[in-house]
A and B are shown apart, each in its own frame.
Chain A
Amino acid sequence: MLDAGIFTQSFMIHAWIGGTIVAILSAFIGFFVVIRGSSFAAHALPQAGFAGGAGAVLLNINPLCGLAAFAVGGALLIGYLGDKERNDVITALTLVATLGAGALFLGLTNKYATGAYALLFGQIVGVSSDQVVATAFIGIVCLLCLAFLYRPLLLASVSREIAEARGVPVRLLEICFLVVVGLATAIIVPVVGALLCFSLLIGPNATSVYLTSSPGKAMALSLLISLVTVWISIVLAYISGWPIGFFVSMTGALLYACARAVHYFRVKNIRLKAGIIQC
């Protein structure tokens, strides 16, 4: 059933390379998304990007540009408006603003907007060789930014007050992080789709926090999970022709459920042992 084409056809080679880059990037970004509790932003920015992609389709320009512009714009909007309002409300409003524009773009597109739907559901066959280069480039930029922000961001995620007292520009830092998420989104969305980009961002890290408590190990484990998820999904999507996002989300959910089960039994064991010692 697995023909050799899955590894040799040029579009599949692009898909493998693109998917791997995206998996690596989302594992590291997802770490901060999960510990900062910013799932909603991670969900909203890809969809904002999708709206931008739809706009690019309408204007007949490269979807990646529209995608990046809207995702980064959304990040800046959340950062800018978030100063005097609850974060979740602002994220919701940003989502509404960008998707409202997206609805207009889609409504005005005359042809059946195949390009836009590909962005919504992801399309492994759609990665061109130019795009692989762009993906690699943006991926590396995002990783470098994240490495640069690492310590202050970790400190600010643990305690905003300590970070402020240490002279860390916390608000600027938060905006920078959101922009990195937005930029990363721009390369993740074409591969796994706007709807499920979010799955890849939070799934692996949500799983690994149940298995380890050291930040380094958690990131390494997430990297592994993320790669496995993407690779499995590429194979299954190739075989079935179904949207790759579906497999990403199902693999992620399955691994998460396993991790929670392992965690549950571990905690129970510890409680049992403690109980025996007490008696």
Chain B
Amino acid sequence: MIRFLNLLFAPGFFQNTQVMNALLLGGVVAAISGVVGVFVVIRGQSFVGHAIADFGGAGAAIAVLMGINTLWGFLGFGVLSAAVVELMGDRAREHDLATGIVLSVALGVESLFLYLDTHFTGQAGAPMMILFGSIFLIKPSTVSIVVALTAATTVIIITIYRPLLLCSIDPDLARTRGVPVRIVSLLFIVLLSFVVAEGSFIIGALLSTALLIGPAAAAIRITHKLGLAMLYSAVLGTLAVWIGIVLAYDSFLWPPVRRGWPVSFFVCALILLFYLLTRLREKLPGSGIMMVRRVT
């Protein structure tokens, strides 16, 4: 038994504070991403959800140059540009283009500052850190900030849960019921930026989409009850991050390089695995899930 556990958790796993921080933060962020992700999927905002991470990436690149914590860069730029996108376009397709244009500017700024980072701060690893995350390198001081941010997000989500749900499912009905749809959407996108910023900080700007969309897309295929979907989604996300961390820690002993495989890889792989399993399940006869009709 002990030998088996040792095989699973490489020696020193539970004594390492970095690892413990990673487990705590990873779990918290994955759970909140899972919950918010369900809203993102039903609102059809995956593109914006992904774009916010890249907006934040630009901020993070600037933060590296200025020598401040990248979390502030992710947060500041994420919130700002998400609000701009939300205010720029109304209709779905216009939104798509508006997101694209803002994203294009953000990526331009990001690539410039990443270039400057590697040339002027001597941090050759800065692009790698911003784009692909650095969960084992989190400063302990950051942990409390992330936890507080998540708590705030959770409270606001619970407060606006019902109007938000109505706006997401049927905006016209919501409008007739007197829900201020514009404001709720704006509020949601700000919350979304918080969550995406945390995700980007942990598994990187390019991959935070994994935590946001993957578990939610899988959960929605398991159940049609939204509350339950959020629970499943949070659980799946957290599981993926935890198992990912364990595997990444173990992988320090793996070939070919013996300096570890990236956590982001494991997390993405696990999330995709979960998603594909839910699709497979659907193929089995008698699973009782109706075919989701294609939205065109």
Contact = CB atoms under 8 A, between A and B. Distances in A.
Interface of A: 34, 37, 39-40, 42-43, 47, 81, 83-86, 88-89, 91-93, 95-97, 99-104, 106-108, 110, 112, 117, 120-122, 160, 193, 195-196, 198-199, 202-203, 206, 242-243, 245-250, 252-253, 256
Interface stretch (B102-110, B185-193, B224-232): B102-110
B107 A95 contact: no
Interface in B204-227: 204, 206-207, 209-210, 212-214, 217
B111 A245 contact: yes
B93 interface: yes
A246 B111 CA distance: 6
A39 B89 CA distance: 14
A-side interface mostly: helix
Contact of B103 (A43, A102, A248): A43
B268 A196 contact: no
A77 to B, nearest CB: 11
A171 to B, nearest CB: 10
Interface residues of B, number: 59
Given A85-B292, A198-B104, A34 B265 contact: no
Contacts of B291: 84
A103 B132 contact: yes
Given A106-B132, A249-B105, A252-B104, A100 B265 contact: yes
Contact of A250 (B92, B108, B268, B296): B108
A160 B257 CA distance: 50
Contacts of B49: 92
Nearest to A249: B108
A198 to B, nearest CB: 6
A103 B101 contact: no
Contacts of A247: 108
Nearest to A117: B127
Interface of B: 41, 44-47, 49-51, 92-93, 96-97, 99-101, 103-105, 107-112, 114-115, 124, 127-128, 131-132, 204, 206-207, 209-210, 212-214, 217, 256-257, 260-262, 264-265, 267-269, 271-272, 275, 279, 291-292, 294-296
A23 B262 CA distance: 36
A274 to B, nearest CB: 22
B237 to A, nearest CB: 12
Contacts of A203: 101, 104
B105 A89 contact: no
A241 to B, nearest CB: 9
Contacts, number: 168
A106 B204 CA distance: 13
Given A88-B44, A121-B111, A246-B109, A93 B260 contact: no
B257 A96 contact: no
A104 B251 CA distance: 12
Given A84-B294, A99-B207, A195 B111 contact: yes
The listed residue with most B CB atoms (<10 A of its CB), out of A104, A107, A193, A206, is A107
Interface of B (DSSP majority class): helix
A103 B111 contact: no
A40 B96 contact: yes
Contact of B97 (A34, A81, A89, A199): A34
A92 B213 contact: yes
Contacts of A101: 265
Given A97-B268, A97-B272, A242-B115, A86 B44 contact: yes
A-B residue pairs, 3 tightest by C-beta: A249-B108, A100-B268, A39-B100
Nearest to A34: B97
Contacts of B209: 92, 95-96
